[in-house]
Structure 1
Amino acid sequence: MLQISYIRENKEKVIEALNKRGFKELGKIDELIALDEQKRSLQSESDNLAAQANAAAREIGELMRQGKRDEAEVVKQSSVNFKEQIKSFAEQLNKLEEDFQDLLVTIPNLPHDSVPAGLTAEDNEVVLQYGDEPDLQQEALPHWELAVKYGIIDFETGTKISGAGFPLYKGKGAKLQRALINFFLDEADKAGYYEIQPPIVINEASGFGTGQLPDKEGQMYYIGEDNLYLIPTAEVPVTNIYRDTIVQEESFPIKHCAYTPCFRREAGSYGAHVRGLNRLHQFDKVELVQIVHPARSYDTLEEMSSYVQTLLQKLGLKYRVLRLCGGDMGFTSALTYDMEVWSAAQKRWLEVSSVSNFETYQSNRLKVRFKGENGKMQLAHTLNGSALALPRIVAAILENFQTDKGVAIPDVLRPYTRFDFID
């Protein structure tokens, strides 16, 4: 979440940045500042009253030591209401703080200066495009038909077992999944990421820490009896490792990777754009998380973007990189790059990764701090990125590498699959 000191001192800049996002509730900024002023004023009154109470207590003690009981009693009677007044101030402050926090968490992160203005995906900026169009036969099939043809993904049985959006991978389809996971983890290890295997359920504090709660509770699977949530991404449990932690500056950058299944309730409506593997309720993903010094976070973002691109290049997939506009970014992000692969049979781009810098938005919620210059406590910057999400990568491989012999496996995956074709 944003820091009130920054909002208070940069009100017009904050409003301008939120306008870039298309944020409509700008009146909340004035409400926040007003609540903050009330809190500070009331806290000052409470502190003054506490100081008077302490001074009275010292005076009573001194008078009693001098044997001046009558005078001590007079002072005691004059300060008899201090305790109740201080309690009343505390109750008012708690209520103000609750109202303040409830309002503050509804304000999204401020977009970086380089974020283009805009409200929809059409306003995103294409940063670069890489790779050639696959040369496919005229009768090339979409991946959902290839999956049935080769018996590698069973959508109907997955629906019978769980519901729509929960595919059942079989045979070479399951082995391709496992090959991609291991390839992505091995590549992350080579790039200096420390592997984590986190829980796949989280509590409310973890969801709040990375910004999924209260913004996205309707998009997460909730386990009511235990008050837990299935994770939407490994970003949540991995980043929460450092909740309420003071990290050492010399430990930067902290680099973690993790493979987990991911769960999303909002799998979408009907149509080709959500058909097959295009949008699912459950999918596998390897996630990258970094916690870094604020001075290095945007260099780190570019490095993470470049790293994800190397994976796509090694897989031989045509892709493009988008810088998301203000209105298309996630609630917690300051700057996001999306990577999209070209789906040759569907003739459309499929998002396979988002790489984001959250600056201090998450770390302020999580209280991830470090001692900077002169021992002053500072908030770290957090970043994360998909490297990579499997469903649309699988879809692109099936479609882009289909031949009259079957689907050719990209060279880098063959040591993992131990077969060259899906046929």
Structure 2
Amino acid sequence: MVGFTGGRLLASADETAAQPAPSEHSDIVSAFGAHQAGIATAQQRYATLVVADLTVSDAASFRRLMVDVSATVALITRGEEPPPSRMFPEGATTPTDFATGLSPSRLTVTVGVGAGVFELPGMTREAPRRLRPLPAFAGDHLDPRWGGGDMIFQICADDAQVVSAAMRALRARLPGYAVIRWTQSGFISVPEGGGTPRNMFGQKDGTSNPPTGSVEFADTVWTLPDEPEWFAGGSYLVFRKIRMKTANWDLTARDEQDAVIGRRRSDGAPLTGNEEFDEPDLEATGADGTTVIASDAHVRRVHGFSMLRRSYNYDYGFLTAMAGGSPDPLEHPENHPHAPGTADHHHGGHGKLDVGLLFCAYGNDPDSQFIAAQQRMAEQDRLNAFIQHTGSAIFAILPGFGKDGYLGDTLV
């Protein structure tokens, strides 16, 4: 669970103009623009990540899929019915009425591709320079069932039913072109009056994101000049499924929780500050001469690595355990402290609970952003005792498209 800190800069006129044009309806986010929606878009409450493996045989077939997907995205994000599917028999209709009468709820669909796309016969464009498998990190316990893939669809909206309906509409485009490899679904809740969402540990998550529309945002997220020309306006998405040991965390004293992170759980402020957005003072020492923010505190370990976090909580309960598996890749009893005098007891199966964070990080240089931060965290971070990285993937997020184009029209 990578965190970071950074300064806040004013928006430049060029970057503001590059954002998708706002709709006259507050519940509609335009699918068109220099960049795809769903990145700079204010984070919605619900998300489903759908990852697929291609079954097409060449670049021309992939292009047909992207044209179909783009037409679908353009319609459903406006709250309209998706186009008819060629797979439906005569008399059947594509609309399911599952979302009929519902607001679009700021629905966005953000599409990315994996390295396998560039191996298709007839694909002439150079792959993005930084699109390569993530390295192994110490402490990883990755499950291949939720990793890798040729394409990702990040579906977000403020209504979970709208997200589900959009997923069905997009799935209807895949037969003959791709098969679903894995999905993950999550949620966040914004505090009343606004503010930073909290993760399953009760910590504010995303405090140090670069401000949307700022120079810092553009320099952090959108492609660098040395990337292939077709990729201009795109980004990279690193996904990590992070299981959080909430029972262990809940039995840890508040002061120790704050020391693990380097921030106060109550208000998100660094231990050396008064407000959430205060810059951590990594040199400050206490009365005993030690640094206030410990050497292995999460904030210190990942300090200085800027990326856009757009993560979601997940709560799958005991689904995996009840299906005969276990979400804990280590399969060992979880040791944790108890209050003095606690009688012997069963632990209620909390070791089988699968809850945590669907970590999604956007950036233009995974090597110096996520990878560098995760390597530093893997070396020494007190937070590692409470989390397990169980899923992993990286994708190149395609540039935006216009009303007369389609997703990937600069690629194929």
TM-score (ref. length: structure 2)? 0.22
Q: Larger helix proportion, structure 1 or 2?
A: 1
Q: Larger strand proportion, structure 1 or 2?
A: 1
